[in-house]
Structure 1
């Protein structure tokens, strides 16, 4: 029973792990109003099989009956953020035809995260919905393609993918796939046939970005993220920025009285002054001056350095201290050496705080007994800033996340169950005495 339970648990964990991957799905049509603006899920939401079926079902009921399915072997949202402008903003995109099709289509739907099991079931869903088998289209049959607007059709175009194992780089393969997509769409447009197109993949990919594509000026924190509506704090205020800072919440507590500084720091009502900030190649300071916080002015100073480490062969920037200064009071100093990242990256963390409940990245150093600090969704960059957008973020999340710990503990439990079962099997022994018909019988006393 123990071995059976272990096997069932392993099977269940395998099924759960198999469903954790996500792939993007992009759909567009020559007919308008197939999807409402609210159809696109919020950022971070993973579309399930039921939700995807509902979205496609409504489009097929009210849209063209000619359906194109571009099915790539592997695809991830990182492919677009690394090489394209669908979710990013790269001038040399690997997906010009796809982006033009999405931009010109009367109806479009972009799903950044779809459960890969649901995406792999799209061909079967379309086959059942349209009642026809898919017609595989390649370069040879493309020129002979003829469609009738009155008859349903399902065209399946398979697109390869590579992670660098072939002679072609990933970006070149994605560009080649985009050219195939453009040729198919051009053939349909020349016949003036209405259609609905879908691009997705069978499983997620692991993107290996070309070093040449990752120049500092093209690094961007764009994964599943729209441009921030509220611009970050920048220094200097004009020209090319040297320091960028942003947080969804900035709060300080003075004698247990909390003051929310978010609206004073970002947005139209911001009153923060950063003119006293300074920057150099080796050290920089971001100085945030607030004219009135609890009846007095308040200054928050981030002191940062940029040092080359031979072990990693690269520069790293570090926030050594965060200081809070009020008139007639000694400055409160918090050590923040955990806030560090490669100098061509930005640093991002869900909570940068002195509160123990938020893991206390800010460690009290001096005169901090009356102070508490909390930054939520904190992000800062002090070096290699080329625009008003952050470079790719180095996150503060540790390697051993709660999910990893759960997996390790579950594995140890399964090993313990297996070891116990194996020990029980090896402990089985045969009887050392048998009933001999020529000798006295074995009698077993019975109690009533």
Structure 2
């Protein structure tokens, strides 16, 4: 956290090492800082971030030429009193925009540098400008350092625009959740006896619900929800923070559900320079006589942006019994795709979709939890095939060896050393 020149932030008492502050303590920190600082707040909200990212990719050890944060580090050095707040409890990290909104008494604006350049701010007023920043995932081909360097360039562009308008500001750089999590288990909670399996870790945020009346009828969840658009180069934007958790800003207007068709519509604003952006999942439920039961399929995924449309058809692999939910570790449109453009000339060729740990249920929802999941992973995985082929090869070798042993024949006559030698006549 830092402010523009001439507006030093009040010093805070350093917390104890390893202390993790709660939401109320964070509100107290921000109230003290914003009381004397500028009321134009720039919140750079990244999907994931940890202090280790500054250690690994920053100029912490003096290697400033190879730093991924040259603009950010320059601002911190030039600021009169930069403030590094202690670690925040993970469940409370999504409350930062709400706390700032309560402190400033104004609604947040979600912007990008291009939109900010067209906006004129009031130097004496209050404003909360939020800039979403992505973070690399394991499914992306872009390294975390390259993504962080791109985010640092966005911070530089925003600050240059604010400085050109001579607007005093208070800037905050934080994230919704950590990029590196170290799970510590108390020895007091460990069982004395041996256990077969450990319970899986809980999800970082609950599933997204669409309700028809008092009860939910569609559930949707993804660990990472990412869209990329080709504009001379691939530009990526993460939607997880806007879709799930306490800081979600997505609207479900236009969603519908009934016994045969379900339609989940996610409405966003200011995504990749598009003012309106909609992500639509269309599902249908049918009865198949061969299996004697109802199945639901994810028929297509649509993108609607500023009056344009891109449609992805799903393969026949995205299906499950209607009583179940569908889950897949990775659903993408560009690498081992389960989503394909409807036509070769469709706008979908300019887009890439990536859903990590994807799970959806559009029928027979009985509560806020998913039903039993039908996983996309087939039984005959590459590892299973390798094991079967190796076993078959070893079985063939063993069979051939047994066959050779069975074919062995012993001699029916032997030399007797005490008797006359066996004479073998030879033809001259």
Relative to the length of structure 1, the TM-score reads 0.47
Relative to the length of structure 2, the TM-score reads 0.49
